[in-house]
Amino acid sequence: MKTFIRFFFKTVRVVLGPVVVLKETLTRPRGVVRIQAAQDKVNRQCKSLTLYQYKTCPFCSKVRQEMSRLSLNIQRIDAQPAGPDRQALLQGGGQAKVPCLKITDKAGKSEWLYDSDKIIAYLRGRFVAA
Ligand SMILES: N[C@@H](CCC(=O)N[C@@H](CS)C(=O)NCC(=O)O)C(=O)O
């Protein structure tokens, strides 16, 4: 069953991937404009965040659009190819699933947040009024 679901999503990504990328490019929101000091503060906060994603994943696209809307400069890591980044996602978060937001606190402890809706809710809760 798990293999079937992975195959299904892989097929959807291959077929619909270019559409997802094109739609994202054409509909990318303008992004909030903050005064420089506020944007600098947000940029510093974003340094503790990393988005594990695939370029052609529609759920990742949804999160990236929200990042654009909120003007968040969050590092994006392509976790699709087998390799150290995908391995880091699997080891840290427990699943090779995207999107996943890695949130690192001041003590260096990381939380791995899965699910596009939860990630978007987290970003809005933290940055909408920033
Ligand atoms: N409900 C989840 C769905 C996420 C999802 O299914 N992601 C797919 C990529 S489109 C995935 O990571 N599949 C596992 C894989 O490709 O190995 C969300 O909204 O984030």
Name the closest-CA residue to atom 7, ligand 1.
Answer: 98
Instruction: Choose the catalytic residue: 4, 9, 52, 54.
Output: 54
Domain count, the chain: 1
* Ligand 1 binding site (Cβ under 6 Å of any ligand atom): 6, 9, 13, 54, 57, 59, 96-99, 115-117
| Strand arrangement of the beta sheet that strand 75-78 belongs to | 75-78, 49-53, 100-104, 110-114
pLDDT in tens, 65-87: 999 999 999 999 999 999 999 99
What CATH number is associated with residue 99?
A: 3.40.30.10
Nearest one of 46, 52, 41 to 102, comparing CA atoms: 52
pLDDT in tens, 31-65: 999 999 999 999 999 999 999 999 999 999 999 99
DSSP class of residue 113 equals: E
Confidence check: pLDDT of 106 > 80: yes
What is the residue range of 102's domain?
A: 2-127
Q: What is the mean pLDDT of the chain?
A: 95
